[in-house]
Structure 1
Amino acid sequence: MSVVDLSALTGGLKSLPPLSLYIHFPWCVRKCPYCDFNSHEAKAGFDEAGYVDALLADLELALPAVWGRPVTTIFMGGGTPSLFSPEAIDRLLAGVRARVRVHPDAEISMEANPGTVEHGRFEGYRAAGVNRLSLGIQSFDDGFLRTLGRIHGGAEARAALEAALGHFDNVNADLMYALPGQTLDQALADIDTALCAGVTHLSAYHLTIEPNTLFARYEPENLPDDERSADMQEAIEVRLAAAGFEHYETSAFARPGRQCRHNLNYWTFGDYLGIGAGAHGKVSAHDGVRRQMRYKQPAAYLKAVAAGEPVQEAHKVGRRDLPFEFMMNALRLTGGFDEALFATHTGLPLVQIARELDEAARRGLLERQDGLIRPTLAGQRFLNDLLTLFLNDKA
């Protein structure tokens, strides 16, 4: 597959960025009405062993593109990875280690939903090598959970969180705010419950009505307006800061040293190989940057892997697209990024975006200081406006 020749245009990438591995599990018990991820209801079950076989075959087919590069983080997402047994996860991770060089200190994350986990499974996941767990809780309030179409209740969420923290010292809780009919106090109550449990990381997401979801067809009533939503966001940030959490990314908060290293690699335009149904990947070589997507439908994916062609779409990242792609990730980091990283991970000189940086600074959306480029508070609040400045038609 041809790619843009960065070496001819810019001198090329002098070094390759860190490499992560993303593994997608496409099945859920039930599709949530707000979800636009590649997930499919497991109405007729699924072949657990067959899917693990396919993932490992997919990885083998991808090896030439990443040969010899160490994997620094692994993230198992979905869908619902916790539908898979500890034995399957153990076989999968053992197979990964047999095929690629996994860093001894690699962060290995796994998503789990309270409604799909027997608490005894946590011990098995930990024994398999998972060292970071992310629980999709969304809320501890039974009424809001019903509105969101979740299959667990508040008591189940609390019990799952307690059990997870008994086996993992690094646990994230996904929570949503700006829910239909939600008050500021109710939003903060969810945050306080997670804090009291002892989580090390919190992802606090504003409920967004995404296209091609059930909520897009039948929008729920009594959604908080922009002002109430902004009040919730600000109050959550204040509450978490008081609890010692760093707001290090648009929706991510962590205790010191507990930032999600896998996501940080995304946000600094690092590389990631994606395997599994619908998985996306971005892999650099010294001559350019490639993006790929696997077949989305599980049956189509399994068939494609068997044929030795799991990649449905692949394309080069053009020279004029690289600045926006880099900034779309890096400007999510509230603390900003070292300006040298732009050249290191894109192969382009920073002067390529000098005009856009100056305009963003003039508008009060971005600041540069001591070699760092970071969004201002206004830039964080109006991130889309900031990113738009880096969409350009320069050849």
Structure 2
Amino acid sequence: MSAEERSPGFGVYVHWPFCAAKCPYCDFNSHVRHQPVDQARFAAAFAAEMATMRARTGARTVTSIFLGGGTPSLMEPGTVGAVLEAVAKNWTVPSGIEVTLEANPSSVEAGRFRGYRDAGVNRVSLGVQALNDRDLRFLGRLHDVEQALHAIRLARETFPRLSFDLIYARPGQTLDAWESELDAAISHAADHLSLYQLTIEEGTRFHLLHAAGKFVMPDADLSADLYRLTQEVTAARGLPAYEISNHARPGAESRHNLVYWRYGEYVGVGPGAHGRFVEDGQRIVTFTEKVPEAWASLVERQGHGVVGGEVLTREEEADEFLLMGLRLAEGIDLARYEALSGRALSARRIAVLQDEALVAPVGNSRLRVTPAGMIVLDAVVADLAR
């Protein structure tokens, strides 16, 4: 199977690891610095690591670029421009591809929007997270609702495409309250919403507070009802789920995230970034040093900050393909699964799950998880993968 047949896209992910404050629910590789970050140093390190990755991937055509974090909107527009120039120097970047930057709604960061657009960003993803001030404070956000709505308006005026995130299943949240908040979000959204249930991750401040009994999470039944309500409201308002937590008007799906979910290839650049791409006929995984300054020092010494990785077996590739692809409403291509794994999915297991209304065929060639199955997705994937 060629690289082209194995990959429905080739993305470049660049990780900006710095934040103004660490959110209590966040387990991403993000770091607060109380002194100004040497942006020129990090831009040069991004470019150097890209050159090393280009030597490993060979010539490729980029289908999407994503600047994530951390808080990429703490970058100066000139830094963003330098990063995008480095991508184009190393790979073919067709005009008009999706270039996304994650941003916070603070007034300082929103003030840079025009500069990001001029640098080549054409899609922004705003970390709004809630549309009431009480819950924004609980989530540790530095903005209020007024700032969030201003940033949404400004982003809609500045960028061709906009998405924003909300976190639901928050402590004390009722179905009626979430429906009202979701209706408000849809009225402000352009064409894409990312709606995530709050989860308590080890190593976060919320993990400590929750263990100490400082707040109570919604129970499993209420969480499932909140999920079902989310699907119903977004579908009725023209933003159906195309992935378990992502909703878009048809044609406005995140092209970069589809690279992940359709099991394409991507290079990960920057502190703590992961990559998955085909090298010498095998799909390999890379991950880089997480501490920003240590990563930059590694890049300056050896041209990259990669500190680990692995070559995936056919079975591991197939399992990842299943895990990612079944998150999508479109489901998976059964022939591609068989080509990756060397075996077909068990017809008996599919039949059992179909009888339980957890999966459904799409024609004769694809399999998808039903809305009921999405609530227990991990169990469905585990059953199929056996």
TM-score range, shorter chain: over 0.9
- 1:294 matches 2:288: yes
- 1:117 CA displacement: 3.8
- 1:390 CA displacement: 4.3
- 1:14 CA displacement: 7.0
Q: 2:198 is matched with which residue: 194, 207, 217? A: 207
Q: CA separation in 2, counterparts of 1:312 and 1:193?
A: 44
Residue 231 (structure 2) aligns with: 237
Q: TM-score, normalised by structure 2?
A: 0.93
Conserved? CA contact 1:65–1:283, under 8 Å: no
Residue 55 (structure 2) aligns with: 64
Q: 1:263 is matched with which residue: 257, 263, 272? A: 257
Q: Which has the higher contact order (CA 8 A, sep 6+)?
A: 1
Partner AA of 1:15 in structure 2: E
Deviation digits for residues 45-75 of structure 1 (CA, Å, limit 9, x no counterpart): 3111111111010000111222211010001
- 1:366 matches 2:356: no
Q: 1:41 is matched with which residue: 11, 25, 32? A: 32
What SS does the aligned partner of 1:123 have? helix
Q: CA separation in 1, counterparts of 2:301 and 2:280?
A: 29
What does 1:1-395 correspond to in 2, within 5 Å?
15-17=5-7, 18-115=9-106, 117-219=108-210, 220-285=214-279, 287-308=281-302, 309-343=304-338, 346=340, 348-351=341-344, 357-358=350-351, 360-361=353-354, 363-370=356-363, 371-392=365-386
User: Could you say if the C-alpha distance between residues 356 and 275 of structure 1 is closer, same or farther in structure 2, counting changes exceeding 3 Å?
Assistant: farther
Decide which moves more: 271-280 or 182-191: 182-191
Q: CA RMSD in A?
A: 1.9
User: Could you say if the C-alpha distance between residues 120 and 385 of structure 1 is closer, same or farther in structure 2, counting changes exceeding 3 Å?
Assistant: same
Q: CA separation in 2, counterparts of 1:285 and 1:61?
A: 13
Deviation digits for residues 336-371 of structure 1 (CA, Å, limit 9, x no counterpart): 133233356x3x345265565455445543222311
Conserved? CA contact 1:82–1:116, under 8 Å: no
Decide which moves more: 364-373 or 54-63: 364-373
Conserved? CA contact 1:240–1:253, under 8 Å: yes
Q: TM-score, normalised by structure 1?
A: 0.91
Partner AA of 1:320 in structure 2: E
What SS does the aligned partner of 1:203 have? strand
User: Could you say if the C-alpha distance between residues 358 and 310 of structure 1 is closer, same or farther in structure 2, counting changes exceeding 3 Å?
Assistant: farther
What SS does the aligned partner of 1:292 have? strand
Conserved? CA contact 2:117–2:159, under 8 Å: yes
User: Could you say if the C-alpha distance between residues 59 and 12 of structure 1 is closer, same or farther in structure 2, counting changes exceeding 3 Å?
Assistant: closer
- 1:116 CA displacement: 6.4
Q: CA separation in 2, counterparts of 1:341 and 1:101?
A: 26
Conserved? CA contact 2:45–2:296, under 8 Å: yes
Partner AA of 2:125 in structure 1: S
Among all aligned residue pairs of Structure 1 and Structure 2, give the percentage whose two residues are the same amino acid.
37
User: Could you say if the C-alpha distance between residues 339 and 97 of structure 1 is closer, same or farther in structure 2, counting changes exceeding 3 Å?
Assistant: same
Conserved? CA contact 2:124–2:162, under 8 Å: yes
Conserved? CA contact 1:140–1:155, under 8 Å: no
Partner AA of 1:22 in structure 2: Y
- 1:295 CA displacement: 0.5
The unaligned stretches of length 5 or more in structure 1 are 1-10
